[in-house]
Amino acid sequence: MTAARTTSYYAASAHPPPCREPLAGAVSCDVCVIGGGIAGCSTALHLAERGYSVVLLEQERIGWGASGRSGGQVIHGLACGQPRLERLVGTTAARALWDVTTEALALTRELIERYRIECDWVDGYMLTALKPRHERELHEEIEQLQTRLNYRSVRYMPREEVSATLATTRYRGALYDGNSGHLHPLNYVLGLAAAAETLGVRIYENTRATGFTGPHVHTVNGEVHARQLVLCGNVYLGSTAPALAQKIMAVATHIIATEPLGERRARALIANNAAVSDMNWVLDYFRCSADHRLLFGGRVSYSGLGNFDARRATRARMLRVFPQLADVSIEHTWGGYIDITLNRAPHFGRLLPQVYFLQGFSGHGIALTGIAGKLVAEAVAGEAERFDLFTHIPHRAFPGGALARRPLLVLAMLYYRLRDLL
């Protein structure tokens, strides 16, 4: 998928970014960061706060990838879920990882306030149930969050309250979290980059890292001599770090933005202005923008093929939730790749003692990518305990090798799509 950032609603409404030149020649620094999404910009920012000299390389422009195209939902926990995480690493380590994810939400707010990032932050998130099975799972999750994890910002919303909050009859109940929220993701990552530059970080755009020898990075027209290297390119690293590519898969996702609805009509759709997602495997997620559009995502492609009408398909999903929007035009359609791991847990680690990586956020990454940058900055500074919590999560390569791994994933996902119908 080669969807340009300029096709998205976020690009159309973003604060104008500065023009940053590509790297030409050789530069030196303490740490080189590859990737200009939230993880890369947060890493650069937190390293600069600690006094390190940092160079950041981005092959396109800041926020061009998943960080600047997402649904903008900033939510608690990990994509794999806490029960699976406990099976992977044990109860004690899983609890410590949970504590990092709640700190991630606080850090997001803290960075927005400290660096005065204008990104339309709104409190509130709803996870909605469509089936009796979902209702049972929600009650179990709320019990776990409140009792075992002491996460008190969640509560159950019965069907009547959900119907009074969302202008649809589709949902049977919901989990509401007042500690999670939503934002304009591109403006957020642009704000992180600008903050990093005020602390001396040098950012080079349109500069692809073609390879690295230890922490020394090679590009088409230059090189970076660094003491440490942090890889934050996710699925876009590709051949730059083939060992990492085996552990993640690129999944295409698509979002539409309606024309402006006006404040009254937008608030009638989502009375509490929360971000919303449902509990299906192929889920719908939506929220209202600051200028009162409905942003709606609901199409995921595991095949890697983009030969379908994303606007029509996603609009059809929107109308299943809000049929009253049939008269509303769609002004923006965009998509892009997110990276998923086989177990849906994040994948952090080291390729060499001086080469760190962050990947595998699995569509659950706005808050987590931000704190991942803080954790890897701690590790570079010799305080690796929290970073190493994540390195102990076991990860396997996707089965099937280079040729069969995607067809096997598509077959596996058919099971979950059929389960959505039950």
d(CA 145, CA 126): 15
Instruction: Read off the CATH number of the domain in which 211 is found.
Output: 3.50.50.60
pLDDT at position 4 is 40
pLDDT band at 281 (very low <50, low <70, confident <90, very high): confident
Residue 158, pLDDT > 90, answer: yes
For residues 207 and 55, is the Cβ–Cβ distance under 8 A?
Answer: no
Residue 238, pLDDT > 90, answer: no
pLDDT at position 100 is 97
> Could you tell me the sign of the dihedral formed by the alpha carbons of 21, 23, 25, 28, in that order?
positive
- Domain of residue 76 covers 5-391
Q: Which of 324, 388, 304, 297 is nearest to 69 (CA)?
A: 297
Strand partners, 54: 31
pLDDT at position 358 is 97
* Mean pLDDT, rounded, for 152-172: 97
Does residue 162 belong to any structural domain of this protein?
yes
Residues in the chain, overall count: 422
Distance of CA 258 to the CA centre of its chain: 22
Does residue 405 belong to any structural domain of this protein?
no
Residue 363, pLDDT > 90, answer: no
- Per the listing, tokens 């987590």 go with 368
pLDDT band at 415 (very low <50, low <70, confident <90, very high): very low
Does residue 416 belong to any structural domain of this protein?
no
pLDDT tens digits, residue range 14-25? 999 999 999 999
pLDDT band at 422 (very low <50, low <70, confident <90, very high): low
Does residue 105 belong to any structural domain of this protein?
yes
pLDDT tens digits, residue range 124-140? 999 999 999 999 999 99
pLDDT at position 235 is 84
pLDDT at position 5 is 42
pLDDT at position 412 is 47
Does residue 329 belong to any structural domain of this protein?
yes
Q: Is the pTM of this model over 0.75?
A: yes
Does residue 403 belong to any structural domain of this protein?
no
* Mean pLDDT, rounded, for 341-363: 93
pLDDT band at 2 (very low <50, low <70, confident <90, very high): very low
pLDDT at position 393 is 95
DSSP secondary structure string, 81-113?
-HHHHHHHH-HHHHHHHHHHHHHHHHHHHHHHH
Does residue 399 belong to any structural domain of this protein?
no
d(CA 24, CA 220): 9
d(CA 29, CA 196): 15
- Strands 275-278 and 355-359 turn out to be unpaired
pLDDT tens digits, residue range 323-334? 999 999 999 999
SS3 404: helix
pLDDT at position 421 is 52
pLDDT at position 342 is 87
pLDDT tens digits, residue range 52-109? 999 999 999 999 999 999 999 999 999 999 999 999 999 999 999 999 999 999 999 9
d(CA 251, CA 81): 19
Give the least confident one: 296-300, 339-343, 371-375, 400-404. Answer: 400-404
Does residue 396 belong to any structural domain of this protein?
no
Residue 409, pLDDT > 90, answer: no
DSSP state of 146: I
- Per the listing, tokens 């119907």 go with 163
Give the least confident one: 64-68, 171-175, 281-285. Answer: 281-285
The domain total for the chain is 1
Q: Which of 118, 108, 44, 39 is nearest to 367 (CA)?
A: 108
pLDDT band at 217 (very low <50, low <70, confident <90, very high): very high
* Mean pLDDT, rounded, for 385-396: 95
Q: What is the mean pLDDT of the chain?
A: 91
* Mean pLDDT, rounded, for 218-231: 97
pLDDT at position 401 is 56
Residue 406, pLDDT > 70, answer: no
* Mean pLDDT, rounded, for 406-419: 49
